[in-house]
Structure formats: C-alpha cells, structure tokens
Structure 1
Amino acid sequence: MDTEPMAPGLEPLLSVEELAGYLGVPVATVYDWRVDGKGPRAIRVGRHVKFAVSDVRAWVDAQREPAPSDSPRGR
C-alpha cells in the first residue's frame, strides 16, 4: 500500500480494489461490508468510493481480538 501523500497535507485514498488487495479479500467482500455497515468508513468522490488510509488503519485496529490475558477465560 502506497501511503505517500500526493500533495502536502493530503492523505492518500485507497480504491475498493486497493483496499481489497491490502486486506487480502475479494472486492465483493468490501462491497458486502459497505452494505452491512461493517467495513471502514468510506468517502464518495463522484461515482467512486475511496478509503482514507487513517480510517482503514483505525478500522483494522478495531478488528483486533483481545489478547488472551484481556479475556476472562485467559485469567
């Protein structure tokens, strides 16, 4: 994933295809997540759907499972 800004102060945006490639899932899965409200926040640019790298990072971080020591069964 290329995260270098194209212009100073602008955050890179990923296409649906780039996001799917980064996550290793089919493009259809990204669209399914959008319909179900489960994926990262998106930005509409005309007819295109884009994803800010910071939103993708935040979403990925929120998908982490708790560490074994954080769960009641791990204690």
Structure 2
Amino acid sequence: MPRFIFITGGVVSSLGKGLASAALGALLQARGYKVRLRKLDPYLNVDPGTMSPTQHGEVFVTDDGAETDLDL
C-alpha cells in the first residue's frame, strides 16, 4: 500500500522545502523504503517569469528558453 508524505510551505521561496524533502527521502531510503520525489509548482496559467521575485524567487531561463526556479 503506497504512503504519501507532503511537504508544504506556501509560496515562500528559499524556505528549505526541497532540502527537507531530499533529506527525508535519503533517511527513508537508508531504512529500505522505495522513495520517489515529486515537485509540484501549481502555477495554473501563470508565467513565473512575470511574477514578483518575492512571490516566486529568482527565475532562470535555460538555453532552450524554458523557465525554472531555484530548485533546478
């Protein structure tokens, strides 16, 4: 039976949600659990490049033109 752990923190950037998720996943894997990490940015019909940096954090543009955040 699959079990889920959700780590949330609203839209606050640089809070450490990704680091906490990775650390928890590593601890669970060390105990023999299968772990899959999924990141969800629920920006429906919103371009993060046009949002305020205080809402989303810094936006990076890759060579192919895609936009991503600090969790790259």
TM-score, normalisation: structure 1: 0.29
TM-score, normalisation: structure 2: 0.30
Q: By percentage of residues, which structure has more strand?
A: 1
Q: By percentage of residues, which structure has more helix?
A: 1
